């Protein structure tokens, strides 16, 4: 058993090269170990004090978010709330205030839970992760990162250091919402994120939609190119039908497959509606769940 506190990315990836697993907030690793899901790794490298991982940079081609940025920073960051609202919607729903203070975006992504909240909005926003190891660094689109529940295409010695999200197109908006049975300490029963681009007349130019907790990974809804030119209510309804059709949910103690399939369609429809409102310049409060009252009518 070893525990190393890294203060630079170089120290962290060196420790990982010799077999250490990274830990930041520990909200998955430690809680999972306590619940007997998986024992704590024998060798750990703490990355929560690496300042280079705690940045949110507004860049020429988008935003770069350090993997160590906490959910509570994400949910309240003015840039994210305005231009990347779907990510702020999701970050504001994670666990409890203390979970959000400790838990990080990098941890959420690399834990690769199909029920993670930030995954679907990151996917529809076209995010890439930057993975670094002693061997160098590479960028991987999120659509190529998740390979199954708890599994990624990252090598064991690769550290997720940054998340890059491209600048949203004009007249675009994003949103995430989930089905939840209570307002805090909750996990998505199902969820959906949408990014919608409108033309000047308010018709759909393009839309991307991703679904939470209805497949082994977060999935993108296929076949949305046909939405070009549609009006928003019609597009939202069609997305709902496509989402329910493409979901392959399981039945478990939280919900049956049938109920998940139905409700993910509802979530997808509402996500498109909310994203389109934001694309049109409406202010829809964050998180969307509280604004429109899924499990939480205000």
Q: Which residues contact 63 (CB under 8 A, 6 or more apart)?
A: 56, 57, 79, 80, 83, 84, 164, 165, 167
Task: Provide, rounded to whole angstroms, the least separation between the CB of residue 290 and other proteins.
Answer: 9
**Closest of 268, 224, 218 to residue 248, by C-alpha:** 218
Nearer to other proteins, 69 or 193 (CB): 193
Which H or E run includes 151?
strand 151-152
| Residue 253 in the binding site for other proteins (CB under 8 A) | yes
Which H or E run includes 97?
helix 97-102
| Residue 296 in the binding site for other proteins (CB under 8 A) | yes
Task: Provide, rounded to whole angstroms, the least separation between the CB of residue 64 and other proteins.
Answer: 32
Strands of the 128-133 sheet, one edge to the other: 56-59, 62-66, 159-166, 128-133, 136-141
Is residue 68 exposed (0-12), middle (13-18) or buried (19+ Cβ within 10 Å)?
A: buried
Part in contact with other proteins (CB under 8 A); list of ranges 118-126, 162-170, 225-233, 253-261: 253-261
Task: Choose which of 10, 256, 280, 283 interacts with other proteins (CB under 8 A).
Answer: 256
Please provide residue 119's backbone torsions phi and psi, each rounded to the nearest 5 degrees.
Answer: -65, -50
Sketch the per residue contact string, 173 through 202, with other proteins: x for CB under 8 A, - otherwise: ------xxxxxxx-x-x-------------
Nearer to other proteins, 126 or 295 (CB): 295
Task: Provide, rounded to whole angstroms, the least separation between the CB of residue 204 and other proteins.
Answer: 22
Is residue 281 exposed (0-12), middle (13-18) or buried (19+ Cβ within 10 Å)?
A: exposed
Part in contact with other proteins (CB under 8 A); list of ranges 10-18, 78-86, 136-144, 249-257: 249-257
Pairing of strands 43-46, 21-23: parallel
Task: Provide, rounded to whole angstroms, the least separation between the CB of residue 184 and other proteins.
Answer: 4
Nearer to other proteins, 67 or 91 (CB): 91
Task: Provide, rounded to whole angstroms, the least separation between the CB of residue 207 and other proteins.
Answer: 20
Q: How far apart are CA 186 and CA 188, in angstroms?
A: 7
Q: How far apart are CA 4 and CA 189, in angstroms?
A: 36
Task: Provide, rounded to whole angstroms, the least separation between the CB of residue 14 and other proteins.
Answer: 31
- Sign of the alpha-carbon dihedral angle for 82, 83, 87, 90: positive
Task: Provide, rounded to whole angstroms, the least separation between the CB of residue 35 and other proteins.
Answer: 7
Task: Choose which of 77, 262, 277, 278 interacts with other proteins (CB under 8 A).
Answer: 262
Task: Using CB under 8 A, count the residues that bind other proteins.
Answer: 23
| Residue 259 in the binding site for other proteins (CB under 8 A) | yes
Nearer to other proteins, 163 or 190 (CB): 190
Nearer to other proteins, 182 or 225 (CB): 182
Q: How far apart are CA 269 and CA 44, in angstroms?
A: 42
Which residues of the shown chain bind other proteins in the complex (CB under 8 A)? 35, 179-185, 187, 189, 253-256, 259, 262-263, 266, 293-297
């Amino acid at each position: 058993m070893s525990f190393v506190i890294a203060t630079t990315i170089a120290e962290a990836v060196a420790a990982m090269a010799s077999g250490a697993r990274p830990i930041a907030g520990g909200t998955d690793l430690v809680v999972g170990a306590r619940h007997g899901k998986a024992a704590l790794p024998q060798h750990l490298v703490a990355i929560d004090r690496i300042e280079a991982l705690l940045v949110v940079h507004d860049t020429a081609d988008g935003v770069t978010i350090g993997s160590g940025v906490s959910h509570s920073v994400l949910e309240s960051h003015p840039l994210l709330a305005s231009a990347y609202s779907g990510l702020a919607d999701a970050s504001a729903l994670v666990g409890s205030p203390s979970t959000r203070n400790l838990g990080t975006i990098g941890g959420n992504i690399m834990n690769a839970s199909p029920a993670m909240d930030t995954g679907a909005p990151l996917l529809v926003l076209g995010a890439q992760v930057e993975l670094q190891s002693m061997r160098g660094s590479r960028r991987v689109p999120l659509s190529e990162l998740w390979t199954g529940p708890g599994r990624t295409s990252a090598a064991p010695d690769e550290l997720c250091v940054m998340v890059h999200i491209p600048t949203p197109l004009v007249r675009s908006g994003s949103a995430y919402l989930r089905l939840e049975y209570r307002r805090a300490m909750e996990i998505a029963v199902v969820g959906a994120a949408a990014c919608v681009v409108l033309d000047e007349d308010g018709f759909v130019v393009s839309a991307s939609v991703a679904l939470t907790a209805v497949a082994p990974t977060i999935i993108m809804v296929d076949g949305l190119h046909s939405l070009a030119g549609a009006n928003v209510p019609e597009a939202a309804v069609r997305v709902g039908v496509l989402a329910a059709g493409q979901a392959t949910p399981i039945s478990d103690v939280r919900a049956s497959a049938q109920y998940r399939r139905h409700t993910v369609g509802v979530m997808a429809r509402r996500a498109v509606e909310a994203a389109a409102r934001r694309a049109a310049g409406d202010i829809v409060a964050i998180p969307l769940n509280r604004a429109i009252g899924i499990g939480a009518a205000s």
